[in-house]
Amino acid sequence: MHQLYINTIGCQMNVYDSDQIERALAPNGFARTDQLEEADLVIVNTCAIRAKAEQKAFSFVGRLAQLKQRKPGLIVGVGGCVAQQEGEKILARAPQVDLVFGPKAIPRLARLVERVRAKRLRVVDIEDSDGIEELDLSSGFRDDGQVARFVTVMQGCDNFCTYCVVPYVRGREASRHPDKILEEIRVLADGGVREVTLLGQNVNSYGRKENLGTFAELLARVNRIDGLARIRFTTSHPKDLSDGLIDAFGRLDKLCPHIHLPVQSGSDRVLKRMNRKYTRAVYLDRIARLRHVRPDMAITTDFIVGFPGETEEDFEETLGLLETVKFDGVFAFMYSDRSVAPASGFEGKIDEAQKKERLQRLLQQQEVFTLSSNRALIGCEQEVLVEGFSTRPGLAEENVSPRQWSGRTPGNKIVNFNPDPDCAGGDAVHPGLLVGVRIEKAYSHSLWGRPVRVEEEPGGYKGDTCHAA
Ligand code: 5AD
Ligand code: SF4
């Protein structure tokens, strides 16, 4: 057996790709380890979305030079978006790297690694073919006890937002065949996975090019998979979030009432320069419709602050949007120049100190809304899918046992709770079970409560989740 260490940087799609890398290399006798020192093959799965992520990848690759000196047989591979973007240049920059491969090369990875190993060659594969080459899934997946997993349903992006590298490094949109997706999720569900998050840069356009049916139709089919309890998806683009997809939230019992709908800015002027193809009013209309269909819908978003040319007035419109929507949670980033993306040539660059100041103002303002959306659940019973033990030390006031269970609500909020002898079945809690938890405390990043009912295996959860409308 050879040891494979993967360092995953970036988004959920990279988390999924790292699992695929593990699967692709299993037939070559590689098994994943979390001990870097023990590895025979180290792969860095990189992200190019912002300069910081790219720097993180290169600094890790830098550290591997020392490891390779101590362990000359070590193979070092660089995959993901930076690999796709930089290609050969990585070999020139980092002599310790043996292999550079883009996201689309994962199905060919076993052969690439063999070439490096047998011939001691340095290999680059960043071929950007159209469509999707499926990985042979016969090696199955390693059951590592995770009950919630990601499944990529489409790759690439055709939207060309002016700040973004994705269309350049992940190529044009291409969707996987629904039969392949369903087959993969069935295998996961049979192995004990209860929740899947379907991934794509823009899931709303799933299947459009290839005539594979709509995303709402795909969701309806996933909803029928036995054993699976929950479905999520990410990411949606507001410009083509269809009524059909919104209605799916009211129709499909396993589809969780949570949507991540990146808005990026509250200013129409900035949205236009970002090439987002929607206005603030259109965005607000989509939010209203989502809340009409599911009043308990949790809504999260992404913002970029300090986009070239963003004025104080533009930024205040963004702050105004926070007030209007009252998101459940927000991810905010300082604009980062990416040389392949058109915005890197735009005028009106904002200096770092100003970007930082705007970021802080935005996060500070949002903190109030995040906390109040969490507080609104106090007193409610929430259905929690138990994922494992909490990594957060219990607070003294909670009088907690050293090990608390941790999981998520349908709205994707983290809930920690103690084993409770007064709760029927409470002593039989384990990852993968749905537990009704009465929420007693709310913090900025999590909730805390007491279990009041536990799903009877293998039956479904029959709790009466209450919602903060
Ligand atoms: N600079 C800063 N943030 C970016 N994002 C994408 N490109 C950039 C960039 N050049 C953010 C967007 C996107 C999230 C995944 O990353 O908010 O939704
Ligand atoms: Fe990037 Fe825009 Fe595509 Fe999202 S929709 S991946 S931000 S180009």
Q: Which two tokens stand for residue 351?
A: 């200096």
- C-beta 162 within 6 A of ligand 2: no
Burial class (CB in 10 A: 0-12, 13-18, 19+), 28: middle
94 Cβ neighbours under 8 A, 6+ residues apart: 58, 61, 62, 65, 76, 78
CA-proximal residue: ligand 2, atom 2 (nearest): 161
The number of the ligand 1 atom at minimal distance from the alpha carbon of 264 is 17
- Mean pLDDT for the stretch of residues 412-429: 83
The number of the ligand 2 atom at minimal distance from the alpha carbon of 201 is 6
- C-beta 159 within 6 A of ligand 2: yes
421 Cβ neighbours under 8 A, 6+ residues apart: 427
pLDDT band at 401 (very low <50, low <70, confident <90, very high): low
186 Cβ neighbours under 8 A, 6+ residues apart: 225
- C-beta 160 within 6 A of ligand 2: yes
pLDDT digits (tens, 9 = 90+) for 28-42: 999 999 999 999 999
In contact, 200 and 155? CB cutoff 8 Å = yes
In contact, 339 and 165? CB cutoff 8 Å = no
Q: Which ligand is nearest to the CA of 303?
A: 1
Q: Where are the domains of the chain?
A: 2-125, 144-374, 380-466
Which CATH number, 3.10.50.40, 3.80.30.20, 3.50.50.60, 3.90.79.10, labels domain 144-374?
3.80.30.20
Q: What is the per-residue burial (b if ≥16 Cβ within 10 Å, else e) of 452-469? A: bbbbeeeeebebebebbe
- Mean pLDDT for the stretch of residues 257-279: 98
pLDDT for position 390: 87
pLDDT for position 464: 53
- CATH code reported for the domain at 380-466: 2.40.50.140
CA distance 258 to 318: 22
Amino acid 270 reads: V
CA distance 335 to 355: 8
Amino acid 27 reads: P
- CATH fold of 2-125, please? Rossmann fold (3.40.50)
pLDDT for position 394: 55
Angle between helical axes of 352-375 and 312-325 (0-180°, round to 10)? 10
Alpha-helical regions (H) of 224-351: 243-251, 268-273, 280-293, 312-325
13 Cβ neighbours under 8 A, 6+ residues apart: 103, 150, 152, 199, 201
- Among 79, 274, 268, smallest CA distance to 164 is for 274
CA-proximal residue: ligand 2, atom 5 (nearest): 159
Residue with tokens 């799609």: 13
- Among 261, 257, 307, smallest CA distance to 282 is for 261
pLDDT digits (tens, 9 = 90+) for 212-263: 999 999 999 999 999 999 999 999 999 989 999 999 999 999 999 999 999 9
* Number of Cβ atoms within 10 Å of the Cβ of 124: 20
- Among 45, 39, 81, smallest CA distance to 60 is for 45
pLDDT digits (tens, 9 = 90+) for 434-458: 999 999 999 999 999 999 999 876 5
On average, the pLDDT of the chain sits at 92
Q: Which two tokens stand for residue 65?
A: 């030079």
pTM above 0.85, yes or no: yes
Best mutation site among 157, 163, 234, 300 for ligand 1 pocket (most ligand atoms within 8 Å of CB): 163
- Mean pLDDT for the stretch of residues 376-404: 79
- C-beta 274 within 6 A of ligand 2: no
How many CA atoms within 13 Å lie on the side-chain side of 395?
11
Q: How far is the CA of 347 from the CAs of 21, 161, 269, 310, 351, in angstroms?
A: 41, 16, 14, 10, 12
- C-beta 338 within 6 A of ligand 1: yes
CA-proximal residue: ligand 1, atom 6 (nearest): 164
Q: Which two tokens stand for residue 364?
A: 């500070």
Q: Which ligand is nearest to the CA of 338?
A: 1
Size of the chain, expressed as the number of residues it contains? 469
Ligand 1 center to residue 67 CA distance, Å? Answer: 33
Q: Which ligand is nearest to the CA of 339?
A: 1
Asked if pLDDT for residue 289 goes beyond 50, the answer is yes
Q: How far is the CA of 271 from the CAs of 193, 239, 268, 320, in angstroms?
A: 39, 11, 5, 15
CA distance 16 to 157: 17
The number of the ligand 2 atom at minimal distance from the alpha carbon of 235 is 4
- C-beta 165 within 6 A of ligand 2: no
Asked if pLDDT for residue 468 goes beyond 70, the answer is no
Query: Measured at the alpha carbon of residue 284, what is the angle toward residues 168 and 265, in degrees to the nearest 5?
Result: 45
Residue with more model confidence, 132 or 1: 1
